[in-house]
Amino acid sequence: MQSDTRSTAKERKREAIIREALEQFSKRGYYSTTIPDIASALDMSVGNLYNYFQSKEILAREILRYISRYLGNRIKEINESEETTKEKLFKIVDIYFKTASKEPEMIDYFLRVYLSNREVFQEECKGMTCVTEFVAEIMIFFENGVARGDLKNQEFFSAFGLFMGYLGGMAFLNGEEILPKELQEFSKDVSENIYNALKI
């Protein structure tokens, strides 16, 4: 019992470090943020933080897995529902835009840290190994859409590129404060555009 409590407390601390580092990396950049900065914000010693993550690179990669799991779990719930392909697509786009609006550091991290500092990720996160949960759910959505006869059967990356390029572009425009209205207000139009592009 005591050991369970200790391990839960440790898990909570671990997540707190990830959330703090995620915010700082996203706002100030990977190289401008140091481990002492993160430890100080959490009121913990640098040595203690290293007990959780042995290096800044390891922490950076773990954040990527954390975001992938976070988004993947939400899309998994949508995939497992009985809704139509079109309804599911709307919900996936909406959850992505909601995350980009309410927790912008999640998407910013992907766009501004992961894609801009490939040297930190390229070995351990080869291919899409650190974003497996997220990509797997998008694959399952596409596969199911084709199996149901709703989406056109094509190479995965042709569809994935269109999908992620569009969502990433909108999240970027939102981050630059260019959009005239809330990002989530675009969910319907954007999901319809994607559906029209991918439908059979």
Partner 1 sequence: MVEKLQQNRILWLSSLTCNGNSHSLLNHPNLDLLLQNIQFLYHPLLPSRYRLKEVIQNSYECEILVIEGSIDPTLKINGVKMIDVITRYSSIAEVVITAGTCSTFGGIFSRSNEKASGLHFREEKRTEDFKNIWQKSISLPGCPVHPDLIFKTIQMILKGLYIDLDECRRPKIFYGWTVHDGCNRNEYYEYKIGHHRFGEMEGCMFIDHGCRAPFTRGSCNKILWNGINSKTRAGQPCSGCTEPDFPAFNLWETKKHMGIPAHAPLGVPKRAYISIAGVAKAFKIERFEKRILKKGSAVEKKH
128 contributes a contact to partner 1 by CB under 8 A: yes
Q: How many residues does the chain have?
A: 200
Pick the closer one to partner 1 by CB: 39 or 92: 92
Residue from 8, 45, 51, 156 binding partner 1 (CB under 8 A):
156
User: What string of DSSP letters covers 19-63?
Assistant: HHHHHHHHHH-TTT--HHHHHHHTT--HHHHHHH-SSHHHHHHHH
Phi then psi for residue 97, to 5 deg, are -70, -35
Cα 106 from Cα 101, distance rounded (Å): 10
Residue from 147, 173, 197, 200 binding partner 1 (CB under 8 A):
147
Pick the closer one to partner 1 by CB: 95 or 139: 139
Pick the closer one to partner 1 by CB: 35 or 139: 139
Which residues make up the interface to partner 1 (CB under 8 A)? 76, 126-129, 132-133, 135-137, 139-140, 142-147, 151, 153-157, 159
